[in-house]
Amino acid sequence: MPDHAEPVIAVDLDAEPFGLLGAWLAEAERTEPNDANAMALATVGADGRPSLRMVLLKGLDHGLCFYTNLQSRKGVELAGNPHVALMFHWKSLRRQVRVEGRVEPVTPAEADAYFASRARVSRLGAAVSDQSRTLPSRAVLEQRVAELDRLYPGEDIPRPPHWSGFRVLPESWEFWQNMPFRLHDRTVFRRAGQGWSGTKLYP
């Protein structure tokens, strides 16, 4: 990231990381052209090899929620190893946030509510997709969507059992901000009882 002369306020060590992430997300929604809630999700397979992809943050409470096909590569890897890493990167703000922790499943009610909030075609696609597996042709996917569309002509498309979500429960955070001359501000928060302990890192 380039150096810049705009004043940047360093993160306070007494900051609460969930609130800070929420504030940074709100700023990113005003400056990022697309998907300010996009985050990279890293998982590890049974062979010990990491894999990485972008997902969308769909809930921020005592964890960070996202949704997926449970039979996808990430779904299978999370079933075998719940430890994950996340990263948000907002180029317009010259900021990033890294999160490390473990996942737990969202409740069926949470998954139902989010599934119902999605666009109709997105729900149809989620129901028919064998995510991460070989697709013979685009026509096969489109045919499956059309068939399910005819089967459920109204808005009541049931959430398939293979589609749900996860909540990442953070164990550590790193908030990074670009500073002039690459003297960047790096602040780490780690679990300390029921709260968080903040430290600074050299850039």
Q: Among 85, 83, 87, 92, which residue's Cα sits nearest to residue 31?
A: 92
Q: With beta carbons less than 8 A apart as the criterion, state whether 28 and 92 touch.
A: yes
Answer whether residue 48 shows pLDDT above 50. yes
Q: How far, in whole angstroms, is CA 169 from its chain's centroid?
A: 12
Torsion of CA 52, 58, 64, 70, to 10 degrees: -50
Q: Among 57, 77, 80, 78, which residue's Cα sits nearest to residue 67?
A: 57
Answer whether residue 201 shows pLDDT above 80. yes
Q: With beta carbons less than 8 A apart as the criterion, state whether 93 and 24 touch.
A: yes
155 or 7, which is more confident = 155
* pLDDT on residue 155: 77
> Model confidence at 9, in pLDDT bands (50, 70, 90)?
confident
What integer is the mean pLDDT of 20-45?
A: 96
In this prediction the pTM is 0.92
> Model confidence at 7, in pLDDT bands (50, 70, 90)?
low
Q: With beta carbons less than 8 A apart as the criterion, state whether 118 and 126 touch.
A: yes
Looking at the chain, the whole-number percentage of residues with pLDDT higher than 90 is 91
* pLDDT on residue 32: 93
Q: How far, in whole angstroms, is CA 57 from its chain's centroid?
A: 4
Token output for 190: 């780690």
Distance (Å, whole) CA 71 – CA 184: 40
Q: Among 47, 132, 126, 39, which residue's Cα sits nearest to residue 90?
A: 39
What integer is the mean pLDDT of 46-68?
A: 97
What integer is the mean pLDDT of 129-144?
A: 93
Tell me the average pLDDT of the chain: 94
Please state which CATH class domain 17-201 belongs to: mainly beta
Lowest-confidence segment of 38-47, 61-70, 145-154 by average pLDDT:
145-154
